[in-house]
Amino acid sequence: MVVILKPKTSEEDVTKIISYVEDMGLDVMVNKGVDCTVLGLLGDTSRIDPDTLMLNVHVDRVMRIAEPFKKASRKFHPEPTIVKVGGAEIGKEGTFTVIAGPCSVETEEQIIHVAESVKNSGAALLRGGAFKPRTSPYSFQGLELEGLRLLKEAREKTGLPIVTEIMSPKMVEVFEKDVDIIQVGARNMQNFDLLKELGKTSKPILLKRGLSATIEEWLMSAEYILAEGNPNVILCERGIRTFETYTRNTLDLSAIPAVKRLSHLPVIVDPSHSAGMSWMVEPLSLAAMAVGADGLIVEVHNNPAKAWCDGAQSLNESQFDSLMKKMRAIGKHVDKEIV
């Protein structure tokens, strides 16, 4: 249940309403918006009579939320969440944020070269895999802590905040100290122990949609992070597994407007993992911008043919630069500016 208070309700009156609800055995989440305060009621709300709440002169509306996700719901948090990282404001209306870099960190020369290149083309953040979740145990698993060190070095040289994937709850303390956005991969979307630990941090979390997850399951995973107190969640649509085998995954562009309607959280798109083929990245990226995504996370490599992993889906530097120019042109028609 959500209780929307009237504008200019005093702190004292808000506290009285919260105390009344808590006396009924419910927990209360408070969201202070620009114009009004919204109270989210958790627990057995059947004991609360909405008509009785409406008798309070400070209550504007009372709504029941059908969705199981409360904190992620737009009903509880009407204003869009904006996640600030470095100079980027992910989720801010009218802006579009691009995260770019190689699938995996390979060498110092490689990651710094790519970082400088994507920055020059307009990327706001650098992505790079240090710990790599792979289907086969015999595939390259990443440079791990050495890869993280090289990412930090690239950040120091270019000023780009870094985004990389976490695999284990044991690494949360290290990632909280060293990483600007902590990425949760598709395979870990429902690793609830990991999500709870990340919820106790203040670092932005990039939560990728699971391989076969519904939108509700995806938002419920975000709820785990939000429920622990971390409001800085960015959703990432990266394609889901369907009966189609031509592409690596099927990019669900319909999820973007759907999530925007259901939730206040920003949502970006990963066109690289969606199709698994570099020649599809450009049209999928342009489509993502057109349907209202808040940004992209794109794989870029200085020599895709010799990449240690996922070279087939990586853009080279000139292809990425061309994509950024086309996206700026499209952005003028959909009121999106790349920042």
Q: Within 13 Å of residue 99, how many CA atoms lie on the same side as its CB? A: 31
Report which of 175, 35, 190, 161 is spatially closest to residue 90, judged by C-alpha positions: 161
User: What's the CATH fold of domain 2-63?
Assistant: Alpha-Beta Plaits (3.30.70)
Q: C-alpha 267: how far from its chain's center?
A: 6
CA 323 from chain centre, in angstroms, equals: 22
Output the pLDDT for position 68.
83
How is residue 292 written in tokens? Answer: 């209202």
pTM over 0.85: yes
Q: Are 234 and 206 in contact (CB under 8 A)?
A: yes
Identify the burial level of 269 via C-beta atoms within 10 angstroms of its C-beta, where 0-12 means exposed, 13-18 middle and 19 or more buried.
buried
Helix axes 255-262, 215-227, angle to 10 degrees: 40
CA 52 centroid distance within chain? 38
Output the tens digit of pLDDT for each of the chain's 339 residues: 899 999 989 999 999 999 999 998 999 989 888 788 999 898 878 778 888 999 999 999 998 877 889 899 998 898 999 999 999 999 999 999 999 999 999 999 999 999 999 999 999 999 999 987 767 776 777 899 999 999 999 999 999 999 999 999 999 999 999 999 999 999 999 999 999 999 999 999 999 999 999 999 999 999 999 999 999 999 999 999 999 999 999 999 999 999 999 999 999 999 999 989 999 999 999 999 999 999 999 999 999 999 999 899 999 999 999 999 999 999 999 999 999
Question: How far apart, in whole angstroms, are the C-alpha atoms of residue 76 and residue 337?
Answer: 28
Rounded CA-CA distance 208/196 in Å is: 16
Both tokens of residue 10?
């005093």
Task: Identify the pLDDT of residue 134.
Answer: 67
Cα separation values, 147 from 88, 89, 142, Å: 24, 26, 7
What is the separation of C-alpha 60 from the centre of its chain, rounded to a whole number of angstroms?
32
> Phi, psi at residue 6, to the nearest 5°?
-70, 150
* Distance in Å from the first CA to the final CA of the chain: 37
Q: Rounded distance, CA 302 to CA 284, Å?
A: 21
For residue 35, what pLDDT is reported?
80
Q: Classify the C-alpha dihedral 220-221-222-223 as positive or negative.
A: positive
Enter the tokens of residue 141: 């698993």
| Structure token digits, residue 173 | 């303390």
Distance, in Å, from the CA atom of 57 to the CA atom of 331, rounded to the nearest integer, reads: 45
As beta bridge partners, residue 30 has 39
With H, G, I as helix, E, B as strand and everything else as coil, classify residue 166: strand
Of the candidate CATH numbers 3.40.50.300, 3.20.20.70, 3.60.20.10, 3.30.70.270, the domain formed by 83-338 belongs to 3.20.20.70
Please report the pLDDT score of residue 138 as a whole number.
Answer: 67
Boundaries of every domain in the chain: 2-63, 83-338
